[in-house]
Structure 1
Amino acid sequence: MEKKKVAVPLVCHGHSRPVVDLFYSPITPDGFFLISASKDSSPMLRNGETGDWIGTFEGHKGAVWSCCLDTNALYAASGSADFTAKLWNALTGDELHSFDHKHIVRTCTFSEDAHCLLTGGFEKVLRIYDLNRPDAPPREVDNSPGSIRTVAWLHSDQTILSSCSDIGGVRLWDLRSGKIVQTLETKSPVTSAEVSQDGRYITTADGSTVNFWDANQFGLVKSYNMPCNVESASLEPKHGNKFVAGGEDMWVHVFDFHTGEQIGCNKGHHGPVHCVRFAPGGESYASGSEDGTIRIWQISPASQEENDSHPGNGPTEKVKVSADEVTHKIEGFHIGKEGNAKEKEKVSDT
Structure 2
Amino acid sequence: MEKKKVTIPQVCHGHSRPVVDLFYSPITPDGFFLISASKDSHPMLRNGETGDWIGTFEGHKGAVWSSCLDNNALRAASASADFSAKLWDALTGDVLHSFEHKHIVRACAFSEDTKSLLTGGFEKILRVFDMNRLDAPPTEVDKSPGSIRTLTWLHSDQTILSSCTDIGGVRLWDVRSGKIVQTLETKSPVTSAEVSQDGRYITTADGSTVKFWDANHFGLVKSYDMPCNIESASLEPKSGEKFVAGGEDMWVRVFDFYTGEEIGK
TM-score range, shorter chain: 0.7 to 0.9
Give the secondary structure class of the aligned counterpart of 1:171.
Answer: strand
Q: Do the aligned partners of residues 104 and 3 (structure 1) sit closer, same or farther apart at CA in structure 2, a change above 3 Å counting?
A: farther
User: Quick one: percent identity of the two aligned structures?
Assistant: 78
* Distance in 2 of aligned mates of 1:30 and 1:253: 22
**Which structure has the highest strand share of the two?**
2
TM-superposed deviation, 1:209: 4.0
* Distance in 1 of aligned mates of 2:164 and 2:222: 20
1:212 aligned residue:
212
Name the larger-Rg structure. Answer: 1
Gaps spanning 5+ residues in structure 2: where? none
2:16 aligned residue:
16
* Distance in 2 of aligned mates of 1:246 and 1:33: 16
Alignment length (residue pairs): 263
* Distance in 1 of aligned mates of 2:91 and 2:247: 33
TM-superposed deviation, 1:20: 2.1
Letter in 1 for 2:100: D
Once the two structures are overlaid, the 10-residue window that deviates more, 152-161 or 16-25, is 16-25
1:179 aligned residue:
179
TM-superposed deviation, 1:79: 0.7
Q: Do the aligned partners of residues 253 and 19 (structure 1) sit closer, same or farther apart at CA in structure 2, a change above 3 Å counting?
A: closer
* Distance in 2 of aligned mates of 1:243 and 1:49: 12
Higher RCO (C-alpha 8 Å, min separation 6): 1
Which structure 1 residue ranges, 4+ long, deviate > 6 Å from structure 2? Answer: none
* Distance in 1 of aligned mates of 2:83 and 2:120: 11
1:282 aligned residue:
none
2:255 aligned residue:
254
Give the secondary structure class of the aligned counterpart of 2:162.
Answer: strand
Asked if 2 retains the 8 angstrom alpha-carbon contact of 1:118 and 1:126, the reply is yes
TM-superposed deviation, 1:70: 0.4
TM-superposed deviation, 1:255: 5.0
Asked if 1 retains the 8 angstrom alpha-carbon contact of 2:24 and 2:237, the reply is no
Give the secondary structure class of the aligned counterpart of 2:223.
Answer: strand
* Distance in 1 of aligned mates of 2:107 and 2:57: 17
**Is 1:224 paired with 2:217?**
no
Q: Do the aligned partners of residues 188 and 139 (structure 1) sit closer, same or farther apart at CA in structure 2, a change above 3 Å counting?
A: same
1:133-170 deviation per Cα after TM superposition (whole angstroms, max 9, x unaligned): 11111011232111111111012211000011100111
2:261 aligned residue:
263
Asked if 2 retains the 8 angstrom alpha-carbon contact of 1:246 and 1:253, the reply is no
* Distance in 1 of aligned mates of 2:257 and 2:17: 32
Q: Do the aligned partners of residues 49 and 210 (structure 1) sit closer, same or farther apart at CA in structure 2, a change above 3 Å counting?
A: closer
After superposition, residues 100-115 of structure 1 pair within 5 angstroms as 100-115=100-115
Asked if 1 retains the 8 angstrom alpha-carbon contact of 2:11 and 2:252, the reply is no
After superposition, residues 1-350 of structure 1 pair within 5 angstroms as 2-218=2-218, 220-224=219-223, 226=225, 228-231=227-230, 232-237=232-237, 240=240, 245=245, 247=247, 252=253, 254=255, 257=258, 261-264=259-262, 266=264, 295=265
TM-superposed deviation, 1:66: 1.0
* Distance in 1 of aligned mates of 2:159 and 2:60: 30
TM-superposed deviation, 1:200: 1.6
TM-superposed deviation, 1:38: 2.0
* Distance in 1 of aligned mates of 2:244 and 2:14: 24
* Distance in 1 of aligned mates of 2:212 and 2:4: 30
Q: Do the aligned partners of residues 195 and 137 (structure 1) sit closer, same or farther apart at CA in structure 2, a change above 3 Å counting?
A: same
* Distance in 2 of aligned mates of 1:131 and 1:226: 38
Gaps spanning 5+ residues in structure 1: where? 267-294, 296-350
Q: CA RMSD of the aligned region, Å?
A: 2.5
* Distance in 2 of aligned mates of 1:114 and 1:185: 29
* Distance in 2 of aligned mates of 1:181 and 1:75: 31
